[in-house]
Amino acid sequence: MAAPRWDLGPAREPLGLIRALQGFFSVFAFATLGGFQGSVRFRLSCAGSPNTSVSAPFAYPFRLNLAPFTPSLPTLCNHTWASDVHLIGDFSSSAQFFVVVAVFSFLYSLGSLLLYLGYLHLYRGTGGKLPLVDFLATAAFSFLWLVASSAWAKALADLKASVMAPLPHCHPPVVTCTRDTPTPMGALNVSVVFGFLNLILWLGGSWFVFKETHFHPPPVTTSTTSM
């Protein structure tokens, strides 16, 4: 394999600069989603019993149907609930797909940026093969970001509706259920924003990669002769 010729010049060109931005914002996309933790809390007022607080924690990958309320509801309020109560919905497929796209986007951005900085002479000297592969990969990631961001935005809307659902079998005055302040979901909203921002970056970056392929004609230069 040829020795690298390290040069920071491509990092100051749109080709390398956008690759660096793509990797940077990919990290933020999966970090804001993968690191989220929240919970749903209710205060129960049972006739003849002191108030009790119950909660159901949830986090990535958001399999809410596996998140039961604790302490166990069947032990409270004179067995009002016959079995444990879970949150509603499984949003893991959309969340995990979003994170997988973000992780592989980061890895590809890092790898291609190293290629630009160390092997640009090979990248541009392979008869257009590497730029063409790079362009096809960039276009594919643009499509994946579109699908992943749209799917996660829809799943997030459904997730918010799920955590705002009332607790079943609450019939005042026998059992009164009061919702505590829900966990803020600003980080999840930001993850959607980063998803569509990555889509814009990958779409924009595809143009600069396309210019490296042999399909893009070189600029026409005109020469002037003095009379």
Residue (of 106, 111, 103, 112) closest to 135 by Cα position:
112
The pLDDT of residue 216 is 53
Q: Among residues of the chain, what percentage have pLDDT more than 90?
A: 59
Residue 37, strand partner residues: 59
Average pLDDT over the chain, rounded to an integer = 87
CB atoms within 10 A of CB 215: 11
DSSP H stretches of helix in the chain: 14-34, 92-123, 129-163, 186-210
pTM, entire model: 0.87
Nearest to 114 by CA among 199, 14, 8, 204: 8
d(CA 181, CA 64): 18
Q: Is 42:17 a contact under the CB 8 Å cutoff? A: no
CA angle (19, 133, 14) in 5-degree steps = 25
Q: What is the mean pLDDT of residues 15-44?
A: 92
Assess whether pLDDT exceeds 90 at residue 159: yes
Mean pLDDT over 131-155 rounds to: 95
Residue carrying the six token digits 């590497």: 130
Residue 93 pLDDT class (50, 70, 90 cuts):
very high
